[in-house]
Structure 1
Amino acid sequence: MKFLRVPVLLLAGALLLSGCASLGTAAQAGAAAAPPAAAGAASAPAPAPGAPPAFATVVKDAKASEGLFTLWRKDDKLWLELKPEDLNRPYFFSPKLATGIGEAGLFGGLMASSPRIVEFRRLNNQVQLIAPNLAYTAAAGTPTGRAVQAAFSPSLVTSAPVASQPHPQRKSVLVELNALFVGDLLGIASTLDRSYRQGYAFEARNSAIGKERALPDAVSFEVLGHFATARIAQAQPGATVVPSTPGTVPDARSLFVTVYYALARLPEQPMAPRASDPRIGYFQSVRSDFSDDLARSPRQRFVNRWRLEKKDPAAALSEPVKPITYWLDRSIPDKYRGAISAGILEWNKAFERIGFRDAIRVEVQPDDADFDTLDVNRASVRWMTNAAPSFGAIGPSHVDPRSGEIVDADIGIESLSSRNRRTERAQVLAIGQGPDTHAGHDAAACTHADGAAEQLGYALDVLEARGELDPGSLDTEAYVLAYLKDVTMHEVGHTLGLRHNFRASRVYGEAQLSDPAFTADHALTGSVMEYAAVNLPAPGQAGGVPFQTTLGPYDYWAIEYGYKPLSAADEAAELSRIAARSAEPELAYGTDEDNALGIDPEALQFDLGDDPVAFASKRFAIARDLLARQERRALPPGSDYPVLRRSVSYALRDLGRAATVLARQIGGVRTLRDAPGSGRDPLQPLPAAQQRLALDTLSRGLLAADSIRLSPTLQRRLAPDFAERTDAVFSGETQIATDYSLVGAVLELQRNVLNQLMSDAVAARLLDSQGKASSAADALPLAELYQRLTRDVWSELRAGGDIAPPRRELQREHVNRVAALLLRPGALSRADARSLLRAQSRTLLAQMEVARRRPGLSAEARAHLADSAETLLQALSARPVRASS
């Protein structure tokens, strides 16, 4: 995916979007290797004292490689020859990681987060590699253009002294690439420091330039960088920052990272940019053009897309002049190449609808190939083996910021063995059992493949427990291949320019999703850019296909907007017509920020179907059925207890996801991207009836006293994987859990729900929704939410009987939150919310006082009620700490 933001690849502060494209070069004519240098030596005057040596002296006995620039190699030295016409000219600069350490975001084969456009500039006897500031522009030669040039600074990437006198005939000079690039240009030492706190630093003495290549349109070379620390810091008692060490290198004091650098020629004629539209999800190239003082905003936004042109513009269906070709790296196992190729080529269906035949092609890198799939201008798919699952798959691209033209992309897919590592870790580590209900993830990260892999593992566990799937069968292999095709389509979509679409899961209903025939021909959602939950059948029912294996209607629409050939005269009107279809249900769109802001109940990850309550109810039933089957699961001799722990963990995590879907309905506001004229209001609070139904389902499924139960017998069998526990201990893991705490796991799910439902944001939205509702009945009152939470969490106060330990834990969580809000009312921004909470607290306090005097309570329950009542009483009596104005 495009958006994995790893804590690396910072180039002098940040790398900017840029790109490159191939073109021929004639600049090397007459630049034959040794003869020109020798010829120049005969007529070259002796250099002045202190001046660089003669060109011929520097390259004596060096081997020349001719390409976009001529490279000269002698032993461990590498020089780049710069002619006068090479200076002050833009080039594409593309850094990538050729080798890494398998953790900390340093993964071999990973693109830098963004490339740059750079220029060589000579300043006296220094050659500087400059990144011009392309984010701000105006018409050259105008007063505004001069003002912009004076206002915004370029950045220095690196620099080195001129290494030679000018060549007598070509007037070119040499600059030593060792001096320019053997350093920490990407800020890798900073990444290591943030990850391990060990004081790693770049060590030039044991670093070097490796292999280089010169092509007509580019030159590339590798820098083997050594990073070292003199000593390994140990954790100090009471320290807030705990140092750690890489677990993937033989000696933690030393490690190598190889960076691939490429310099390539930019297109002489930038591609015609295409304006973006917020109703359709494309990555964008953004610049501020100050040429027009009367424009509402100087910001211009272009969609990122490949340059795709018909060979025959008049033909209804034509091959492209240059197809988008993805190279399968030779690292991909043979058994997965078919599924990955199918996922890539699936996108041809969308391009055929707009007149392109075979717009996308797949090639396989031969085992004896003399090129690297990291080469610039070569889109690729690589297989990456990391120490632990980190992202599942990633689809970044490099873009020419002048136009939004995508010129390079390298998809990385993590080895499926990494998925097994996640399963093993779940059996020994104390990890949270559900995602945060705010979904406040990094809005620039793609975790689709990682989540889909867990969904794959969960599905295989469920179907194996039901006796519907043999782990070693061809059906299981088909599940894995369907997952790979799904993941590949998603990541290819990113490299075509498309962003996530988290509203697409609401397109189809349960009847369609459960129909094998329908799901064989249709995507499960409106778009493969969605994070769709695996399509599992309810216990005892048949179901559709588990993963998305074809494009959805939104995908066809988005490709039409970005790639349909349009004349300049008709483009604006035609794009407006295409985007105006956004209100059609199958074209629903909501992306990362819609999900991350936590407002929209429809822009969610890992939900499925047009009825969120029905979806959550179904997933609750599936999880409970899996838990029940573990109760009676017979383990044959020679098997392992950790399989029980794995299945229980899977079930609880999925319960947490379903609870997240329901919690987001409460106080939810649909945020639609429609333009005026669609007939829909852009901000639509969810109807009160739907919120109540979600709250009922959430209460029964997670907050009720009997919502999740495991027998004592099963809980005693939830042993860890002791071999994996040993590895975890010696690798420095600190959150190891030998025992399995069901109470703790369930409490974590319940805590997430309380965090969401008792948040200031939900309270404010419920109060605001009363003003947006057409009638009072259409809005869910905040008082009703507070009353319902209190009633469900403290149900034993009315029902009588004792209070079980897990219920006491949940009740303590609730009362602590109430007390904290009473003591610090500034945490609730609305006066009505604060007053309602105080009123609810007084009612609850009275109920506690009555309940703790009744017979039949255990000593623990009686103490729990007394302590909870004291907490509330003190909070109600204390002087509130109000935020200062």
Structure 2
Amino acid sequence: MLTGCASLPAGPAGAVDAPQAAGAAGAVGAAAPAAAASAPGAPTLARAGAEAPAAGAPPAFAVVSRGAETLPGLLTVWRKDERHWIELRPEDFERQFFLSPKIATGIGSAGVYGGLMASSSGQSVGRPQIVQFRKVGNLVQLLALNSAFIAPGEGVAAKAALQAGYSPSLIASAALASSPHSERKSVLVDLGLLFQGDLAGIGAALQRSYRQSYAHDTRNSALVRLRNAEGLLAFEMRNHYAASSLASPGAPGAPAPSLPPTLPELRSLFVTLHYSLTPLPAEPLRPRRADARIGHFVTTVHDVADELPRSPKRRHVNRWRLEKQDPQAAMSPPKKPITFWIDRSVPLRYRDSLRAGILEWNKAFAAIGFQDAIRVEQQPDDAAFDTLDGDKASVRWMSNAEASFGAIGPSHVDPRSGEILDADIAFESLSSRALRTLRSQLLGPTAAASEGSDHAGHDPAMCQHGDHAAEQLGYALDLLSSRGDLDPDSPEAEAFVQAYLKDVAMHEVGHALGLRHNFRASTIYTEAQLADPAFTAVHGQTGSVMEYAPVHLAPAGQPQPEPFQSTLGPYDYWAVEYAYKPLAPEEEEAELQRIAARSAEPQLAFATDEDNAVGLDPEAQVFDLGADPIVHARKRFALARELIQRQGQRALRSDQDYSVLRRSVAYALRDMGRVSTVLLRQIGGVRTLRDHPGSGRDPLQPLPAATQREALGLLIQQVLAPDALQLAPALLRRMAPDFAERQDALRLGGPVTTDYPLTAAVLDLQRGVLAPVYSDALASRLLDAHEKLDAGQERLGLAELYQRIGRAVWGDLDGTADLPPLRRELQRDQVNRLAGLLLRPASLSRADARSLLRQEALGLRQAVEARLARPGLGAEARAHLQDTLETLRQALDATTLRAGG
């Protein structure tokens, strides 16, 4: 595999840059300047056993290691030319290590990003694992141990059952490079051979992303860097991936193949994997049980020995090991602070804001008696270490070719206890620029209203806060600039960017500390409080930095509050207290119960990703702000319409192009879609509270009918009414695309629209309203609502919902006016949904819903027939209504025949 290169000296503290393998393209960084001396007691050739090995056995230890230098550290590494061998003593086969994989260099696209840490879900780089070496004959295996199932204590039977029932996994294997040392009985294994495979599954990820035949190329892959220290063995494998041939974009079949946009030669790419091997803590952190009333990431293990609990699952809070230097002091520094290293890749202009966002969390730790629990260090430009090393938490900067997540804050956790061992927060450079390249600057139609719920979804480790916050930053800058309140190149605009960065830094550090999203925190303050700049300067705009809050913009002419969250909220203090407050073992359970029992306090309101994903709770969602969602929605609709209206009169400089108008309109329509989602959650909404008995609140609380009706009325007025969404013809004639971006899109085979597709953009937004209105989930909630209401309580019925939506869409049939194109598109979408539900009655689980929809279809057929009998219709509108009539006739007749059969 690795042949014929000259030896390089070792770097400081055992760090080396390995020479390049023959045939591999590209240069490796310069070798470290100084040689590392062997530590006292390190193996030497003079002491190496040299007896001849048995027939068929690997070569003698002394033969393999002759001329090699030693790099002492976690495991002794022998190095000769570009070959690296780990020396494994008999006791090393009994040890458990933590293996942390990360991407060191990527391609800036398709999720293969340099600096990306693997998540525990294993969706990016392969999962971090507890590993162990195992010797099988002349083979060394690297095993991932199964840590999800435990049998604590001394029970022999439970341990035997555990061993028999659950298997480890094989990560890699390699033949022994040497026979055992005569004295130490240790053996050598080639580190490059052991890790030469595609352990992280990058090849499969590339195939999924591009549908091309990318595969790992062992011949041109090599170990290129190694650092060995007492508690860390870190090394990098530069893997080559190649495609023997490329399928053309746009080829028949769906989905079509695509091509990486960043490669000089599309058939070849390199991805460097950074691996850290560290010892596990000798004494596992005392686990702290999780409580569903507070949002922490958790480590779940199955206790197969204890058969008394209802469930064998034990859920432990993920948290750093934080202990006071003086346990008796009310305020004490920690024995070991949580230290984040700002990577040298972070631009100088942003470091202070990121530092401020990180250190803001010290306020929460001070409240539980820790002085300076969190520290921030700056990596020197000439540092020998890498912040990807498994012993350093970091904040890094990614120069990706495409905006993907904005920022992300993953961590690696000891699965035995939930102790956080490492975290690498990453920011994308595109998210902090003038945002000219964000997805909101569309070549095609705007996103549907349903995008308002593209939250972290079902994977709690996934975070899109940075991405959404970046778009909200762009929206704010465009609106304020169009008002004339802000010059995009001014210090005030720079302050907006810095405020956004601090907000995102606080959010991602929260994840790195073990906190999950809190999507109910946006509801704790009133509109009067939010409108007060003095209040928001002290309290922020939500109860937690773990929210996805919209940028906070004041109506024109009113004082501007803090646009982004500027400080921790009350929930953040509470969540830190539960996870990190020092507690004596005998007091822990009672104190945790006391802390969690505060969940009914209004300022500690909490809901997380699953609550948002279910779509039932009107408060557990993203991009809402304030205690009154209707007030919030009215304000946001007004801001969006203001931005659109100002584009018609916007004077552009000669150094600008017209695509700025398209971007601003796209921002406005996307925000209207998100506001529509906020309103849709009110209809049939049920507050789902995580309280335990004794809080005085019912855990399931249907929303008052008056609120639901008000939300429905506002949706109809702002999105479905005939005059709801219109752009001036003069503006549409100016909304040209960014022609340079269009050229790139054509080259890469992406969708391209030169003319602004207003009809498609508006219909996208309206479809985002109709889809949930006609869903089985909403029908069931409205029909079931009366079961939860006391006698005399009013409810919004399903019949009323269908009737009001039908009138909103088809109200144009009254009178003799023609039907414009936008209305015809909306009506066609609605009747297709209606017909589809009638033709597939199994798609609705409730008989009442099917009956009501049939009644709506019969009434609509009569209204269409009546309109066709009156004059005033153009040829397109008449054809549209005749086609609608035929669609209804077929759907109604087919349903009747099926029911009769």
TM-score, scaled relative to structure 1: 0.94
* Match of residue 443 from structure 2: 428
Select the residue among 660, 674, 679 that pairs with 1:662.
679
Of the structure 1 ranges 386-395 and 82-91, higher mean CA displacement relative to structure 2 is found in: 82-91
Residue 269 (str. 1) matches residue 277 (str. 2): no
Question: Hey, what's the Cα distance between the residues in 1 that align with 2:794 and 2:75?
Answer: 69
Question: Hey, what's the Cα distance between the residues in 2 that align with 1:839 and 1:486?
Answer: 51
Shift, 1:880, TM fit? 6.3
Q: Secondary structure at the match of 1:848?
A: helix
* Match of residue 198 from structure 1: 212
Select the residue among 473, 491, 502 that pairs with 2:508.
491
Residues 861, 776 of structure 1: CA spacing in aligned structure 2 closer, same or farther, 3 A cutoff? farther
User: Contact 2:448 / 2:765 at 8 angstroms: preserved in 1?
Assistant: yes
Residues 441, 431 of structure 1: CA spacing in aligned structure 2 closer, same or farther, 3 A cutoff? farther
* Match of residue 88 from structure 1: 94
Residue 611 (str. 1) matches residue 624 (str. 2): no
* Match of residue 118 from structure 2: 112
Select the residue among 762, 778, 796 that pairs with 1:780.
796
TM alignment of 1:310-321, pairs within 5 A: 310-321=324-335
Residues 874, 441 of structure 1: CA spacing in aligned structure 2 closer, same or farther, 3 A cutoff? farther
What letter is aligned with 2:477? Answer: L
* Match of residue 123 from structure 1: 136
What letter is aligned with 2:872? Answer: G
Question: Hey, what's the Cα distance between the residues in 1 that align with 2:455 and 2:496?
Answer: 30
User: Contact 1:528 / 1:555 at 8 angstroms: preserved in 2?
Assistant: yes
Shift, 1:320, TM fit? 0.2
User: Contact 1:40 / 1:167 at 8 angstroms: preserved in 2?
Assistant: yes
Residue 860 (str. 1) matches residue 876 (str. 2): yes
Question: Hey, what's the Cα distance between the residues in 2 that align with 1:170 and 1:471?
Answer: 68
Shift, 1:557, TM fit? 0.3
Question: Hey, what's the Cα distance between the residues in 1 that align with 2:628 and 2:358?
Answer: 31
Question: Hey, what's the Cα distance between the residues in 2 that align with 1:618 and 1:38?
Answer: 81
What letter is aligned with 2:842? Answer: G
User: Contact 2:839 / 2:894 at 8 angstroms: preserved in 1?
Assistant: yes
Question: Hey, what's the Cα distance between the residues in 2 that align with 1:424 and 1:724?
Answer: 11
RMSD of aligned residue pairs (Cα, Å) = 1.6
User: Contact 1:437 / 1:663 at 8 angstroms: preserved in 2?
Assistant: no
Of the structure 1 ranges 154-163 and 236-245, higher mean CA displacement relative to structure 2 is found in: 236-245
Q: Secondary structure at the match of 1:87?
A: helix
Residues 877, 433 of structure 1: CA spacing in aligned structure 2 closer, same or farther, 3 A cutoff? closer
What letter is aligned with 2:404? Answer: S
* Match of residue 399 from structure 1: 413
* Match of residue 711 from structure 2: 694
What letter is aligned with 2:281? Answer: P
Question: Hey, what's the Cα distance between the residues in 1 that align with 2:337 and 2:192?
Answer: 36
Select the residue among 855, 866, 883 that pairs with 1:850.
866
Select the residue among 344, 360, 367 that pairs with 2:358.
344
Residues 592, 881 of structure 1: CA spacing in aligned structure 2 closer, same or farther, 3 A cutoff? farther
Shift, 1:863, TM fit? 2.2
Q: Secondary structure at the match of 1:676?
A: coil
User: Contact 1:76 / 1:208 at 8 angstroms: preserved in 2?
Assistant: no
Select the residue among 787, 798, 810 that pairs with 2:814.
798
Question: Hey, what's the Cα distance between the residues in 2 that align with 1:469 and 1:236?
Answer: 43
* Match of residue 476 from structure 1: 493
Residue 814 (str. 1) matches residue 830 (str. 2): yes
Q: Secondary structure at the match of 2:650?
A: coil
Question: Hey, what's the Cα distance between the residues in 1 that align with 2:319 and 2:138?
Answer: 40
Shift, 1:775, TM fit? 3.3
Question: Hey, what's the Cα distance between the residues in 2 that align with 1:52 and 1:530?
Answer: 58
* Match of residue 14 from structure 2: none
**1:433-461 residue CA offsets vs partner (Å, 9 max, x unmatched):** 54346657642221000000000000000
Residues 530, 440 of structure 1: CA spacing in aligned structure 2 closer, same or farther, 3 A cutoff? closer
Question: Hey, what's the Cα distance between the residues in 2 that align with 1:708 and 1:589?
Answer: 35
Residues 266, 237 of structure 1: CA spacing in aligned structure 2 closer, same or farther, 3 A cutoff? closer
User: Contact 1:424 / 1:724 at 8 angstroms: preserved in 2?
Assistant: no
* Match of residue 278 from structure 1: 292
Question: Hey, what's the Cα distance between the residues in 1 that align with 2:565 and 2:545?
Answer: 7
* Match of residue 29 from structure 2: none
Q: Secondary structure at the match of 1:819?
A: helix
**1:303-327 residue CA offsets vs partner (Å, 9 max, x unmatched):** 0000000000110000000000000
What letter is aligned with 1:51? Answer: A
Residue 37 (str. 1) matches residue 37 (str. 2): no
Select the residue among 530, 550, 555 that pairs with 2:547.
530
Give unpaired runs (5+ residues) of structure 1.
1-27
TM alignment of 1:405-444, pairs within 5 A: 405-416=419-430, 420=435, 422-423=437-438, 426-436=441-451, 439=454, 442-444=457-459
Residue 381 (str. 1) matches residue 398 (str. 2): no
* Match of residue 12 from structure 1: none
Residues 591, 90 of structure 1: CA spacing in aligned structure 2 closer, same or farther, 3 A cutoff? same
* Match of residue 227 from structure 1: 241
TM-score, scaled relative to structure 2: 0.92
Shift, 1:599, TM fit? 1.2
User: Contact 2:456 / 2:463 at 8 angstroms: preserved in 1?
Assistant: no
Q: How many residues in Structure 1 have an aligned counterpart in Structure 2?
A: 851
What letter is aligned with 1:78? Answer: H
User: Contact 1:502 / 1:591 at 8 angstroms: preserved in 2?
Assistant: yes
Q: Secondary structure at the match of 2:45?
A: helix
**1:567-625 residue CA offsets vs partner (Å, 9 max, x unmatched):** 00000000000000001111111111111111111111111111111111101100111
Shift, 1:857, TM fit? 2.3
Higher relative contact order (Cα pairs below 8 Å, separated by 6+ residues): 1
Q: Percent identity?
A: 60
Question: Hey, what's the Cα distance between the residues in 2 that align with 1:797 and 1:690?
Answer: 29
Q: Secondary structure at the match of 1:786?
A: helix
Of the structure 1 ranges 60-69 and 140-149, higher mean CA displacement relative to structure 2 is found in: 140-149
Shift, 1:295, TM fit? 1.5
Shift, 1:29, TM fit? 7.4
Question: Hey, what's the Cα distance between the residues in 1 that align with 2:326 and 2:538?
Answer: 31
Question: Hey, what's the Cα distance between the residues in 1 that align with 2:431 and 2:525?
Answer: 33
What letter is aligned with 1:122? Answer: K
Of the structure 1 ranges 793-802 and 833-842, higher mean CA displacement relative to structure 2 is found in: 793-802
User: Contact 1:92 / 1:117 at 8 angstroms: preserved in 2?
Assistant: yes
User: Contact 1:437 / 1:664 at 8 angstroms: preserved in 2?
Assistant: no
Shift, 1:234, TM fit? 2.2
